[in-house]
Structure 1
């Protein structure tokens, strides 16, 4: 009986956390690409966002952008604009929209859409030579998007 109660409680807690999350296909983009509402329903963690921005295995934002706050991460890119001052240039909603799908703000942008699951031009499935399955996961989770937004918002001039 105790195991069933604990399992039910864990399921309810997990379900409550999931209930606040917006699925990639349900994100509401304003004109210009801003996303007003949190994608996860929880505040972002700026320190985790910094890790994601600088990680070659996660967001890898530094592959294209320079970020002075992450000077210890080698090989910053020069394709995208510097992210220094991003918190002054864009609102939190604009930052969220840019990270989720920059193409809705900057048409023709080379920036990946980090919270998108469809509409790709035939992506491959790893190194198999086959097309990817129909349902692709987003590059970052809703909470990871919120964490990146929280970090970017700290980057002031």
Structure 2
């Protein structure tokens, strides 16, 4: 029994690693956190626009789950980790990886994928095939998150 569990766990880990390695622009996760993803646009994002997107309830709505430094609404949920100092914890390409689709790194997370359109369930017809954030908007949010060093 113990040997079968060990083989099953090994197979699951191997399959997860293969899945991570199969994505374009991504690399396997290392001991320093999530994998890395190259820029979606090849251009730096606009941090001011990213802040507006992150705070907007109808767009990023990051404050629903995360405490955001400097946000007027300080009643943020503690469902997700505080974003205070997040730029000290993650590199820009790791941040992007998590914003695009955090489930690739943590399959059980409740954080939504902001730039993924495939494999989603219970999506309104009007939104099928459309990401929550465009590539430019995703880069803007990443640029904003990278300003949160304190």
Is there any run of 5+ residues in structure 2 with no aligned partner, and where? 1-22
Counterpart residue number, 1:141: 134
* Counterpart check, 1:116 vs 2:109: no
For residue 150 of structure 1, the aligned residue among 134, 139, 143 is: 143
**How many Å apart are 1:73 and its aligned residue?**
3.0
Equivalent-residue separation in structure 1 for 2:81 and 2:25 (angstroms): 25
Aligned 8 A contact 2:53 2:59 in 1? yes
**How many Å apart are 1:101 and its aligned residue?**
0.6
Counterpart residue number, 1:16: none
Bigger Rg, which one:
1
CA RMSD of aligned residues (A): 2.0
**How many Å apart are 1:134 and its aligned residue?**
9.4
Equivalent-residue separation in structure 2 for 1:58 and 1:135 (angstroms): 16
In the comparison of the two structures, how many residue pairs are matched? 124
Aligned 8 A contact 2:50 2:141 in 1? yes
Check 1:67–1:135 CA distance in 2 against 1; reply closer, same or farther (3 A cut): closer
Counterpart residue number, 1:62: 63
Counterpart residue number, 1:81: 81
* Counterpart check, 1:34 vs 2:35: yes
Question: Which consecutive aligned stretches of 4+ in structure 1 deviate over 6 angstroms post-superposition?
Answer: none
Equivalent-residue separation in structure 2 for 1:147 and 1:108 (angstroms): 26
Counterpart residue number, 1:45: 46
